[in-house]
């Protein structure tokens, strides 16, 4: 995937409109200069009216230019942001952990903002101001080629000097971008862990970390400002020297009788109108360098591997048979050969870090094996279209939090099209009565506003919404009281589909058709629950405490 073309999707029409505006502004500037020359020859209402009309036209076209430029920039940003977000949500398992939360926000907001600035303040000004400057030089050339040549030479020299200063600005912009990324990552991580900081009283320590990052960014921005200031200073000097060249050469031309006084005044009028445009052109290079650095980071992000949701194989009809063929994941999971028949419940038990969650993540494609493959109804899950895989496999896991919104929105997140009746049945099934009759209770980021038990019940209901072939339950008992665990037990007794259950509760594991005991990434025992649990040895899950609070 790549960034959209700057002028694709019909955006070239907006740029063409800006070019027309530039031509019109050049014509208005010329009309004003001619009116001033006429007024110099003989003051009158006609000349004054012409100057006023030209000024009004320039003002209206400048206003239209600003709106047109913003439309151009926003049209691109909307298309690019949509593509970046699409790429983000379809990142491959190996790439999912690489971009930090702060880094993602930086790309979707700041980097795209830099590209927008290039389009609205850089490219748009380059087109419009370039046409105004070219028109002014052409008008000067009609009356005095020497005058136009002198002013043009100054402008070319100033542009060449700015080009030489560009690489330094680009390096400083990259350094500032890195410092901003580090600060954004720091702040994003700390904002997501405010409760941890407050609970352990580490606000001073974290404040010092943010202060260091802020100072690094401030220093980088000052260094960038020096380079940007040099560019802007060059533009100011260029505008001043162009004016000086006009006065010097124009005076010499007039003294030699090759230029009338009225023509010189008209040239000075054009120079006065030209100076702001030269200053605008001086900032174009700054915006371009910022956009180049931003596009480098955006393209690096888009280079991360991803899978399109509709690309891949369809799943054949089946009951949810899962087969592991020589599956290995680094040191987390040793090579595994195993088969889970359709409709069976398999419990994965063992100590923390044994590989239970890794094994579950392989089935729905959230993790990728280093060797071997996982088959779902005879098809490698790595080859199944993601949309088809998500419809067939549902999951409850500790690292899949609730989203900001309402309880109802979260419960129906996997299957938003199901009706109100289905929602109420799901809520009743998991004991989510505290959510209210219509599920309108508000939920904050990560499930804030609900107790741990309520969050787990909502997550369980979400996993059940819409049905599936395979249900993955990674420690579903987390945060639940005895009543909540009984709801999980009732689900296991129903056997609604193939179920893989990772649990630390012996009574839940006992409800499975088969138990796999994992230790240090290896399945060391496999068989009937009574046999495996009796031989579990060091694995001693806690019993349910009646009346425990969720």
Indicate whether 28 pLDDT > 70: yes
Is residue 544 included in any domain, yes or no?
A: no
pLDDT band at residue 44 under the 50/70/90 scheme = low
Q: What is the pTM of this model?
A: 0.80
Is residue 411 included in any domain, yes or no?
A: no
What region does 431 belong to: left with phi over 0, alpha with psi -120 to 50, or beta?
left
**393 - beta bridge partners?**
470
Burial class (CB in 10 A: 0-12, 13-18, 19+), 255: exposed
SS3 39: helix
Token readout for 309 is: 């949701």
Shared-domain flag, residues 173 and 228 = yes
Q: Please say which residue of 246, 274, 303 terminates a domain.
A: 303
Shared-domain flag, residues 381 and 260 = no
Is residue 432 included in any domain, yes or no?
A: no
Q: Any idea how long the chain is? A: 550
Strands 470-474 and 498-502: parallel
CATH number for the domain harbouring residue 347: 3.40.50.300
Shared-domain flag, residues 112 and 203 = yes
Q: How many whole angstroms separate alpha carbon 466 and alpha carbon 422?
A: 9
Q: How many whole angstroms separate alpha carbon 434 and alpha carbon 13?
A: 55
Shared-domain flag, residues 214 and 336 = no
Q: Please say which residue of 274, 303, 332 terminates a domain.
A: 303
Is residue 452 included in any domain, yes or no?
A: no
Please give the average per-residue pLDDT across 209-217, as a whole number: 94
Is residue 192 included in any domain, yes or no?
A: yes
Indicate whether 212 pLDDT > 70: yes
Shared-domain flag, residues 337 and 210 = no
CATH number for the domain harbouring residue 98: 1.20.1560.10
Measure CA 379 to chain center: 33
Shared-domain flag, residues 285 and 345 = no
Shared-domain flag, residues 339 and 296 = no
Express each pLDDT in 429-461 by its tens digit: 888 875 555 578 888 888 888 888 989 999 999
Shared-domain flag, residues 246 and 200 = yes
pLDDT band at residue 19 under the 50/70/90 scheme = very high
- Number of structural domains in the chain: 2
Q: How many whole angstroms separate alpha carbon 153 and alpha carbon 276?
A: 18
Q: Which residues contact 57 (CB under 8 A, 6 or more apart)?
A: 24, 28, 31
Strands 379-380 and 442-443: unpaired
Is residue 308 included in any domain, yes or no?
A: no
Please give the average per-residue pLDDT across 154-180, as a whole number: 92
Pick from 109, 122, 81, 111: nearest CA to 178: 111
- Residue 285: which domain range? 11-303
Is residue 272 included in any domain, yes or no?
A: yes
Is residue 69 included in any domain, yes or no?
A: yes
Strands 333-340 and 322-329: antiparallel
Express each pLDDT in 281-323 by its tens digit: 888 989 999 999 999 999 988 988 887 766 788 899 989 999 9
């Amino acid at each position: 995937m790549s960034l959209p073309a700057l002028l694709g999707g019909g955006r070239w029409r907006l740029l063409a409109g800006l070019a027309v505006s530039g031509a019109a502004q050049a014509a208005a500037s010329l009309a004003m200069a001619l009116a001033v020359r006429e007024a110099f020859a003989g003051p009158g209402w006609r000349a004054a009216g012409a100057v006023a009309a030209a000024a009004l036209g320039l003002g209206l076209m400048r206003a239209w230019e600003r709106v047109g430029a913003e439309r151009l920039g926003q049209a691109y940003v909307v298309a690019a942001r949509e593509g970046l977000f699409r790429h983000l949500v379809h990142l491959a398992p190996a790439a999912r952990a690489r971009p930090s939360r702060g880094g993602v926000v930086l790309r979707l907001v700041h980097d795209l903002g830099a590209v927008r600035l290039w389009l609205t303040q850089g490219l748009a000004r380059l087109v419009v101001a370039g046409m105004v400057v070219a028109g002014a030089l052409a008008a000067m050339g009609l009356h005095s080629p020497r005058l136009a040549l002198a002013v043009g030479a100054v402008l070319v020299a100033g542009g060449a000097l700015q080009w030489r200063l560009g690489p330094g600005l680009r390096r400083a912009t990259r350094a500032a971008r890195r410092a901003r990324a580090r600060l954004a990552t720091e702040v994003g991580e700390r904002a997501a862990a405010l409760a941890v900081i407050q609970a352990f009283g580490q606000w001073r320590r974290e404040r010092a970390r943010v202060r260091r990052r802020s100072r690094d960014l401030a220093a980088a921005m000052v260094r960038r400002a020096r380079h940007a200031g040099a560019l802007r200073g060059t533009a100011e000097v260029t505008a001043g020297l162009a004016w000086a060249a006009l006065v010097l050469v124009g005076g010499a031309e007039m003294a030699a009788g090759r230029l009338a006084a009225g023509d010189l005044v008209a040239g000075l009028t054009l120079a006065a109108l030209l100076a702001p445009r030269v200053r605008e052109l001086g900032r174009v290079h700054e915006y371009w360098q910022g956009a180049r650095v931003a596009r480098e980071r955006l393209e690096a992000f888009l280079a991360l591997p991803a899978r399109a949701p509709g690309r891949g194989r369809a799943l054949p009809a089946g009951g949810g048979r899962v087969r592991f063929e020589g599956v290995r994941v680094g040191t987390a999971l040793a090579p595994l050969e195993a088969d889970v028949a359709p409709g069976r419940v398999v419990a994965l038990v063992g100590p923390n870090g044994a590989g239970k969650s890794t094994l579950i993540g392989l089935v729905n494609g959230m993790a990728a094996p280093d060797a071997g493959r996982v088959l779902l109804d005879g098809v490698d899950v790595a080859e199944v279209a993601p949309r088809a895989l998500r419809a067939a496999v549902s999951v409850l896991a500790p690292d899949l939090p609730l989203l900001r919104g309402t309880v109802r929105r979260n419960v129906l997140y996997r299957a938003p099209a199901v009706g109100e009746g289905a929602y109420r049945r799901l809520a009743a099934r998991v004991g989510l009565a505290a959510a209210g009759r219509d599920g309108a209770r508000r939920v904050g980021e990560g499930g804030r506003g609900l107790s741990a038990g309520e969050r787990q019940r909502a997550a369980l209901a979400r996993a059940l919404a819409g049905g599936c072939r395979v249900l993955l339950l990674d420690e579903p008992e987390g945060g639940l009281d005895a009543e909540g665990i009984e709801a999980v037990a009732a689900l296991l007794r129903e056997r609604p589909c193939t179920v893989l259950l990772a649990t630390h509760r012996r009574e839940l594991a006992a409800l499975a058709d088969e138990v796999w005991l994992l230790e240090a990434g290896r399945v060391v025992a496999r068989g009937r629950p009574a046999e495996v649990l009796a031989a579990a040895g060091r694995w001693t899950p806690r019993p349910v405490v009646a009346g425990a609070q969720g």
